[in-house]
């Protein structure tokens, strides 16, 4: 995870997004250089997935916390943004109710549930995008890390967490639109969402926030904190006897990672135009782990690379050979695990094992 | 019983695992500045004793008093480490992906909280201390190497260096010379004596030649209790010790 790889990644993400947005706006639709609006939104979606992947890599690659429920934080951030977008619809809904979203009118609800209060204010909604995933991660992590739950047990609990949320959000009584979720958005910050320029703006915003996320994550893992974190990952009890409290380190990074995932989800919703309980599906979280494994665990940049490449593949496969996609994904994961333990980035910088030739060949220990 | 010069006092400590008595009303007194060797056959309770002192295992009954009146049985591992008790494991556990330098940096006594380490910059004082330790453990030429690439003996030394960096009052060392060459063993004995000039040390060891070379008071554990205590010549002449080691 060198500084140069990070720089290259930042340039590609920011530059790529800027070029796509510019070509979408500045070239006529007939031009060979024209980037259609759907491609802009697709790229934006990939970058949102990349934000989730970086969040997963931060906890898995550097703290050894294999969270198989990280898409839950992504979806919660998405729902918080979706609730704001729903309130923005106002009287333009099918039922024309100024306060109640369509699905509430449909369910014969007379008033807005208390937990929908405030979501008409953008600042409040943004605060919730950060707070809801963050607080859930804080409570969950505090309970899990304090009682020293780790390894595969923690992975299973995170799966249970996202599955429980999936079931809860499916219920109409929860007040989040049940099976259909939240959709039919019109405006964001009073700007119409259907405009090309809005899509370009969202892609650029996603690229900038992904870049910011990468820089924050990089600061965390290269600081002394990050060194402790890697020490915790490799030898937790040893760090305890050195006087560190691994649970504090894990909790901090877990909450930070959940907030990052939530921001990714919040940017995802206006770009795909819908958020529904399917985002909580356990398979989504597992897919995010596969992106990281493919790109290279513990490299941050690899997470971005893996998320974009695997999702490009997914877009291609599900359009041409939809039945084969899950097999392809499974095969990819097995191949990467067996043949490329360092992921794609590991290919580029195989550690020069033979470099310090002053040593005799290491005996098998 | 706790006099001014007592550093560590185990008072009737009993630990049972599923009915097996790993420690059986063990009592032991360590003086300030003392070095003590603890020997005993497998299953005598040596490692469990270390676990109790460092907070990994809570005893069923008994007290462990550190210094004047700190009861260690109420504290967890990081709190006990912060009091100044360092522990070296039998299998060298250094942080393999980090350099030798960073291993020592993480071990240096200082603020351990995330809010500090997130923004910490290496100070000149820290650099000086790490350089001094590197000289002591003879790894100055290897400071920038990955700890995982060190030889077995070098890892053991790095771990001892990490303990020094913690600036503990009391060092618990579990089988420091296991797997070492004769030359390394000798150097380790030298190193431990050097450390003992300013700190108390408890060494658990199987290697009788090494214990003899240390030339310190020896405690023999058997079935979770003290069987015999005294100089190495005294305990090796004790018929009960001979019985435990050679009999049956």
Among A277-281, B154-158, B244-248, which stretch is predicted with the lowest mean pLDDT? B244-248
Tell me the average pLDDT of chain B. 89
Sign of CA dihedral B93, B95, B100, B103: negative
Rounded-to-integer distance, Cα B206 and Cα A237, Å: 24
Taking residue A92's Cβ as centre, other Cβ atoms within 10 Å add up to: 11
Give the tens place of pLDDT for each residue, A200-237.
999 999 999 999 999 999 999 999 999 999 999 999 98
**Partner-chain contact A252 B87, CB within 8 Å:** no
Exposure string of A111-138, with b = 16+ CB inside 10 Å and e = fewer, is: ebeeebeebbeeebbbebbbbbbbebbb
The pLDDT assigned to A28 comes to 87
DSSP string, A59-109: HHHHH----S-HHHHHHHHHHHHHHHHHHHHGGGSTT--SSS-HHHHHTT-
Among A337-341, B226-230, B244-248, which stretch is predicted with the lowest mean pLDDT? B244-248
Give the tens place of pLDDT for each residue, A10-54.
999 999 999 999 999 888 888 888 899 899 999 999 999 999 999
**Partner-chain contact B96 A234, CB within 8 Å:** yes
Nearest CA in chain A to B144: A356
Nearest CA in chain B to A248: B114
Q: How confident is the model at residue B236 (pLDDT cuts 50, 70, 90)?
A: confident
The pLDDT assigned to A350 comes to 53
Rounded-to-integer distance, Cα B12 and Cα B61, Å: 7
pLDDT (average), residues B198-227: 89
Q: Give me the phi and psi of A243, to 5 degrees please.
A: 100, 5
Give the residue among A165, A208, A205 at the shortest CA–CA distance from A189.
A205
* Percent of chain A topping pLDDT 90: 72
The pLDDT assigned to B247 comes to 60
pLDDT (average), residues B46-71: 92
What is the predicted ipTM? 0.86
Give me the residue spans of the domains in chain A. 3-345
Nearest CA in chain B to A246: B78
Measure CB to CB from residue A242 to each of B56, B106, B149 and give the nearest one.
Answer: B106
Give the tens place of pLDDT for each residue, A289-304.
999 999 999 999 999 9
- Strand B70-71 and strand B85-88: the pairing is unpaired
The pLDDT assigned to B170 comes to 94
Sign of CA dihedral B223, B227, B230, B233: negative
Angle, CA of A266, A45 and A92, to the nearest 5°? 55
Rounded-to-integer distance, Cα A128 and Cα B13, Å: 52
A contacts of B173 (beta carbons < 8 Å): none
pLDDT (average), residues A228-248: 93
- Would the pLDDT of A364 be above 60? no
Rounded-to-integer distance, Cα A231 and Cα B105, Å: 12
The pLDDT assigned to A98 comes to 85
- Would the pLDDT of A354 be above 70? no
The pLDDT assigned to B5 comes to 83
**Partner-chain contact A359 B112, CB within 8 Å:** no
Rounded-to-integer distance, Cα B87 and Cα B202, Å: 10
CA distance A325 to chain B (A): 36
DSSP B148: G
DSSP string, B179-244: T--HHHHHHHHHHHHHHHTTSEEEEE-S-HHHHHHHT-EEEEEETTEEEEEE-HHHHHH-HHHHHH
pLDDT (average), residues A313-329: 86
B contacts of A228 (beta carbons < 8 Å): 106, 114, 117
Rounded-to-integer distance, Cα B167 and Cα B110, Å: 10
| CA distances from residue A136 to A10, A156, B4 in whole angstroms, order as listed | 30, 17, 50
Residue A107, SS3 per DSSP: coil
Q: Which of residues 116-135 of A touch B (CB under 8 A)?
A: none
Nearest CA in chain B to A229: B114
The pLDDT assigned to A358 comes to 34
Taking residue A359's Cβ as centre, other Cβ atoms within 10 Å add up to: 12
For residues A282 and A163, the answer to whether their CB atoms sit within 8 Å is yes
For residues A13 and A205, the answer to whether their CB atoms sit within 8 Å is no
For residues B87 and B172, the answer to whether their CB atoms sit within 8 Å is yes
Rounded-to-integer distance, Cα B194 and Cα B196, Å: 5
Radius of gyration, alpha carbons of chain A: 22
Give the tens place of pLDDT for each residue, A140-196.
999 999 999 988 999 999 999 999 999 999 999 999 999 999 999 998 998 999 888
Rounded-to-integer distance, Cα B78 and Cα B63, Å: 19
Angle, CA of A283, A285 and A289, to the nearest 5°? 110
Residue B17, SS3 per DSSP: strand
With an 8 Å Cβ cutoff, is A222 touching chain B?
no
Mutation choice for B interface testing from A224, A247, A250, A361 by most B CBs within 10 A: A224
Q: Which of residues 201-220 of B touch A (CB under 8 A)?
A: none
Mutation choice for A interface testing from B98, B106, B152 by most A CBs within 10 A: B106
């Amino acid at each position: 995870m060198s500084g140069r790889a990070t720089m290259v990644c930042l340039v590609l993400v920011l530059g790529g997004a800027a070029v796509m947005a510019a070509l979408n706006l500045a070239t006529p639709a007939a031009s060979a250089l024209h980037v259609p609006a759907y491609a802009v939104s697709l790229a934006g979606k990939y970058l949102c997935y990349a934000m989730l992947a970086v969040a997963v890599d931060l906890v898995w690659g550097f703290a050894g916390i294999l969270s198989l429920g990280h898409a839950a934080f992504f979806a919660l951030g998405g729902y918080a943004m979706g609730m704001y977008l729903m309130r923005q619809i106002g009287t333009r809904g099918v039922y024309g109710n100024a306060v109640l979203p369509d699905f509430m009118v449909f369910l014969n609800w007379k008033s807005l549930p208390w937990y929908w209060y405030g979501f008409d204010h953008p600042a409040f909604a943004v605060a919730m995008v950060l707070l809801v995933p963050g607080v859930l991660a804080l409570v969950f992590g505090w309970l899990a890390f304090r009682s020293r739950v780790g390894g595969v047990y923690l992975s299973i609990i995170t799966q249970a967490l996202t599955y429980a949320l999936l079931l809860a959000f499916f219920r109409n009584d929860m007040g989040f639109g049940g099976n259909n979720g939240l959709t039919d958005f019109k405006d964001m910050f009073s700007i119409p969402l259907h405009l090309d320029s809005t899509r370009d703006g969202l892609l650029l915003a996603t690229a900038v926030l992904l870049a910011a996320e990468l820089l924050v994550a990089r600061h965390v893992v290269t600081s002394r904190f990050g060194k402790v974190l890697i020490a915790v990952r490799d030898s937790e009890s040893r760090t305890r006897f050195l006087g560190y409290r691994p649970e504090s380190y894990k909790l901090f990074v877990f909450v930070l990672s959940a907030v990052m995932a939530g921001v990714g989800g919040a940017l995802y919703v206006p770009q795909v135009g819908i958020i529904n309980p399917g985002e909580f599906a356990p398979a989504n979280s597992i897919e995010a782990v596969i992106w990281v494994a493919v790109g290279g665990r513990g490299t941050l940049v690899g997470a971005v690379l893996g998320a974009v490449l695997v999702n490009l593949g997914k877009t291609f496969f599900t359009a041409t050979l939809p039945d084969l996609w899950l097999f392809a994904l499974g095969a990819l994961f097995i191949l990467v695990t067996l043949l490329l333990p360092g992921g794609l980035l590991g290919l580029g910088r195989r550690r020069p094992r033979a470099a310090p030739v002053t040593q005799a060949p290491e005996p098998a220990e | 019983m706790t006099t001014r010069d007592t550093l560590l006092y185990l008072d009737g400590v009993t630990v049972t695992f599923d009915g097996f008595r790993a420690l059986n009303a063990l009592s032991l007194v360590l003086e300030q500045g003392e070095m003590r060797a603890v020997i005993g056959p497998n299953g005598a309770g040596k490692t469990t004793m270390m676990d109790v002192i460092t907070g990994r295992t809570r005893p069923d009954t008994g007290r462990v008093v550190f210094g004047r009146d700190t009861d260690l049985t109420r504290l967890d591992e990081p709190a006990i480490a912060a009091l100044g008790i360092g522990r070296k494991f039998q299998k060298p556990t250094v942080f393999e992906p980090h350099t030798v330098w960073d291993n020592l940096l993480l071990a240096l006594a200082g603020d351990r909280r995330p809010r500090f380490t997130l923004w910490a910059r290496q100070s000149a004082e820290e650099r000086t201390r790490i350089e001094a330790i590197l000289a002591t453990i003879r790894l100055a030429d290897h400071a920038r190497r990955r700890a995982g690439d060190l030889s077995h003996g070098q890892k053991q030394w790095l771990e001892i260096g990490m303990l020094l960096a913690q600036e503990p009052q009391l060092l618990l060392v579990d089988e420091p010379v296991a797997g070492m060459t004769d030359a390394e063993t000798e150097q380790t004995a030298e190193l431990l004596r050097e450390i003992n000039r300013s700190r108390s040390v408890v060494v658990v060891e199987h290697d009788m030649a090494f214990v003899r070379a240390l030339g310190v008071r020896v405690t023999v554990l058997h079935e979770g209790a003290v069987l015999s205590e005294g100089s190495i010549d005294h305990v090796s002449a004790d018929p009960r010790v001979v019985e435990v080691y050679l009999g049956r």
